[in-house]
Structure 1
């Protein structure tokens, strides 16, 4: 196997796309499909240059540029530009994202928009633990988090 193919396999193994919310059931062993306009490999870093996309089951991670690192136990993905993380239930949008695969934490920064159905929340930084489903969103340019929530219809 060529060095580039080995690097691709290593980096994309890091990228087992994180689950957002408890309803997702994608098997972390499911194949990971990726696309990019260009691919660069240097040292322990594989970079997909975009638009770049990783798809595993019903989850999608997309950005202008996605880099996978595996250095001395530090395994993470970094995404820059038009970042989207999409599941069947939620969409997270931001300018940048870092996913620490060992810790199971994804941090999205910039103009962050989180949608779930019609519900929308905005801020400047979203930290989400994929293991515990704990989330924290911090204020945007106004220093505040904003949201719009639609109560579920009870049929009355």
Structure 2
């Protein structure tokens, strides 16, 4: 049954480390030296420790001195996988320094046989938790009372 509000859930089964190196692969890369950004396009795959993100396009924004990644914006068929959990959305914004990923647009979280959907989900990789907001809907499997 759909509900409006916020639902807190565990995510990933493990705490992730946002200070680990970020590996990105894609079909193409466009670098903008002027604003310190890089745009990866086509079959983009991001890996950081146990966390994986895939999308059609990812914009990487560096800090002012362009020494570290500040944030990443993933768009198009975004899939986030951490440990046993997976989430899909239209868009994901990952703030590297805080370890927070905000997923928006048709969010679907799958945890084993259970599924939850919502308008948006905020994942905190460092605590291994997530909050789902806006028209939260869930389907919970049970064992039939056995």
- TM-score, normalised to structure 2's length? 0.76
Taking structure 1 as reference, are residues 90 and 37 closer, same or farther at Cα in structure 2, changes over 3 Å only? same
**Which position in structure 2 is the counterpart of 1:34?**
24
In 1, distance between residues paired with 2:106 and 2:17? Answer: 28
> Which structure 2 residue ranges, 5 or more long, are not aligned?
1-10
Mapped contact 1:107–1:126 kept (Cα < 8 A): yes
> Which structure 1 residue ranges, 5 or more long, are not aligned?
1-19
Q: Deviations 1:10-66 (Å, cap 9, x if unpaired)?
A: xxxxxxxxxx4343678964x654321110111211111012111345432100101
1:95 paired to 2:95: no
Alignment of 1:70-149 (within 5 A): 70-72=62-64, 75-139=70-134, 144-149=135-140
Aligned residues: 131
Which structure is higher in strand share? 2
Larger relative contact order, structure 1 or 2 (CA cutoff 8 Å, min sep 6): 2
- TM-score, normalised to structure 1's length? 0.72
Mapped contact 1:93–1:113 kept (Cα < 8 A): yes
**SS of residue in 1 equivalent to 2:141:** coil
Which structure is higher in helix share? 1
1:151 paired to 2:142: yes
Mapped contact 1:96–1:109 kept (Cα < 8 A): yes
In 2, distance between residues paired with 1:38 and 1:62? Answer: 14
In 2, distance between residues paired with 1:67 and 1:133? Answer: 24
- How large is the Cα RMSD of the aligned pairs? 2.7
In 1, distance between residues paired with 2:50 and 2:74? Answer: 19
Mapped contact 1:26–1:59 kept (Cα < 8 A): no
